[in-house]
Homo-oligomer: A and B are copies of this chain.
Amino acid sequence: MLNVALLGFGNVGRALAELLMQKQDALRAEFKIVVRVVGISTGRHGQAIDEAGISLRTALDAVRYGATIEGLHRGNEIKNQTEFLRDVPADLVFESVPTNPHDGQPALDYTRFLLGRGVHVVSANKGPVVHAYRELTALAADHGVGYFFESSVMDGAPIFSVAREGLPAATITKVSGIFNSTTNYILTRMEEEGLTFDQAVHEAQKIGIAETDPALDVDGWDASIKTAILANVLMGASLKPSDVDREGIRDITPEDIRQAAAAGQRIKLLCEAVRAEDGTVSASVQPSRVALSDPLAGVSGTSSVVDFYTDVLPRLTIVENDPGPVTTAYGMLADMVNIVRKRYPLTGDEEKSLDEG
């Protein structure tokens, strides 16, 4: 029996709730995991704790009909988020609260608090990972729990688990790819229909792929954060997003795209982290021409891709095609299973030697 809580009940949290219901038989049969939801904290629909278990269906219906979930609460009154985090009797918390990617707050403080209480944390947020990966992983290890974040990059496709479980003793010399789906969608529309940048942004906004202020995506910040995460987690670097040599796609014109096409190339917002001979890792995000024959060229729309270059497999490419709303939620569910299976990352001495290796 695994007691879990959902901290954040927006699109991701609610998709996770659906998935937990859908997969309960498989989790029990394959991994002997019986999930009991003992707490839910929403942004605008209240909070509930019940150590006997909360019905996800009832909570989802309450939110769908605009009600609060407070009727599901049992026990002492919870006055605020801090009291929820302190009182919720969970072994594991799924964290998907709205968070500022530039400083990781408030998710970062919540995660520190929970790990310090000896609670596993599964997070979909980039901010805490990029700002405090080493601190949080060490804190988790000190308390014998896991801090997992598969869904922070590429929507829950198995990137970190492939590196951790599929590439043991390999030295990763370069990680590259297309990590921001909004800009990839914009560039794809510009190429396929000859749209200008502004027109393509407008199209992306219409279907909810781009924000009203698209700066985080189109100026390369989101891609820089993800690139720094991969450099820090997979290559032992300590990069901040501002350390990434960053160029967005605002200045790309239909003419640039036509010229690239005439040369048998496509323009992609290419992310890259490379280890130099002296061991230092540098990273960049910039619009780049990619040959049509390259696997990256075929990654269109909201799909994304990562390339691992190692000393033992020349180049391993992983493409996540057309992610759906369930994808991010699935990454969180996979993290839960991998925490129960104790697939913890290397830490401390082992990580040190990994950096040197």
Q: Which residues of A pack against B, CB within 8 Å?
A: 19, 23, 25-27, 29-31, 156-158, 161-162, 164-171, 292-295, 297-300, 312-324, 326-327, 330, 333-334, 337-338, 341, 343, 346, 349-350, 353-354, 356-357
Interchain nearest-CB distance for A15 vs B (Å): 10
Residue of B nearest to A23 (CB): B169
Q: Which one, B29, B161, B295, B319, contacts A357 given CB within 8 A? A: B29
A164-B326 Cα distance, complex, nearest whole Å:
20
Residue of B nearest to A22 (CB): B311
Contact B312 A19 (CB under 8 A): yes
Q: Which one, B317, B338, B357, contacts A321 given CB within 8 A? A: B317
| Chain B contacts for A297, CB-based, 8 A | 298
Q: Which one, B158, B293, B315, contacts A162 given CB within 8 A? A: B158
| Chain B contacts for A168, CB-based, 8 A | 30-31, 333-334, 337-338, 341
Contact A317 B316 (CB under 8 A): no
Contact B169 A30 (CB under 8 A): yes
Contact B162 A166 (CB under 8 A): yes
| Chain B contacts for A294, CB-based, 8 A | 298
A330-B311 Cα distance, complex, nearest whole Å:
10
A293-B326 Cα distance, complex, nearest whole Å:
25
| Chain B contacts for A292, CB-based, 8 A | 292, 298
A319-B316 Cα distance, complex, nearest whole Å:
6
Q: Give the top 9 A-B pairs by smallest Cβ distance, nearest first.
A: A158-B166, A29-B353, A165-B165, A312-B330, A317-B319, A315-B321, A168-B337, A161-B166, A26-B357
| Chain B contacts for A31, CB-based, 8 A | 168-169
Residue of B nearest to A165 (CB): B165
15 more CB-based (< 8 A) A-B contacts, given A165-B165, A165-B166, A312-B333: A19-B312, A26-B357, A27-B169, A29-B349, A29-B356, A31-B169, A158-B167, A170-B334, A295-B321, A312-B327, A315-B319, A316-B320, A316-B321, A317-B317, A318-B318
Contact A316 B158 (CB under 8 A): yes
Residue of B nearest to A25 (CB): B357
Contact A167 B323 (CB under 8 A): no
| Chain B contacts for A26, CB-based, 8 A | 169, 171, 353-354, 357
A253-B331 Cα distance, complex, nearest whole Å:
44
Q: Which one, B19, B293, B321, B338, contacts A165 given CB within 8 A? A: B338
Contact A318 B320 (CB under 8 A): no
Contact A30 B353 (CB under 8 A): yes
Interchain nearest-CB distance for A172 vs B (Å): 12
| Chain B contacts for A321, CB-based, 8 A | 295, 314-317
Interchain nearest-CB distance for A176 vs B (Å): 12
A338-B343 Cα distance, complex, nearest whole Å:
11
Q: Contacts A25-B357, A298-B297 given: A316-B167 contact, CB under 8 Å?
A: no
Q: Which one, B170, B298, B319, B353, contacts A293 given CB within 8 A? A: B298
10 A-B pairs with C-beta separation under 8 A = A25-B353, A26-B357, A29-B356, A30-B169, A31-B168, A161-B166, A169-B333, A317-B318, A317-B321, A318-B319
A349-B322 Cα distance, complex, nearest whole Å:
34
A162-B160 Cα distance, complex, nearest whole Å:
11
